A and B are shown apart, each in its own frame.
Chain A
Amino acid sequence: MITTTKGEMDEGLLQKREGEIDDENEHTTWVEYWMNGDPLCTHVKYAPDHKGTAWCAGCGAELVHRSAHVTLKKPVSAFGGAASLQ
Chain B
Amino acid sequence: MANSQAFCSQAKVDLMNGKHAFGASVARGDTTKDAYKAALYLASASRGAGDTVYNSTGEVSGTNYTAGGVAVTTGTAPSLSGTTAIFTPSASIVYTNVTLATAFDAVLLYNDTSATKLALSVHTFGSQTITAGTFTLTMPTHDATNALVRIA
Contacts and interface: CB of A to CB of B under 8 A. Distances in A.
B150 A66 contact: no
A71 interface: yes
B151 A77 contact: yes
Contacts of A67: 130, 133-136
Interface string A66-86: 111111111111111111100
Interface in A1-54: 3-5, 21, 25-26, 28, 30-32, 48, 52, 54
A61 interface: no
A67 B99 CA distance: 9
**Consensus secondary structure, chain B interface:** strand
Interface residues of A, number: 35
Nearest to B122: A76
Given A72-B148, A78-B152, A5 B125 contact: no
Given A25-B124, A54-B101, A78-B150, A73 B132 contact: no
A66 B148 contact: no
Contacts of B101: 48, 52, 54
Contacts of A30: 128
Nearest to B124: A25
Contacts of A72: 123, 125, 137-140, 148
B7 A76 contact: no
A77 B150 contact: yes
Interface in B75-131: 97, 99, 101-102, 121-126, 128-131
Contacts of A3: 97, 132-133
B132 A75 contact: no
Given A54-B101, A67-B135, A70-B138, A26 B126 contact: yes
Contact of B129 (A54, A73, A76): A54
For the complex of A and B, 9 pairs with smallest distance between CB atoms:
A67-B133, A80-B7, A66-B131, A48-B101, A52-B101, A71-B138, A77-B150, A69-B136, A26-B125
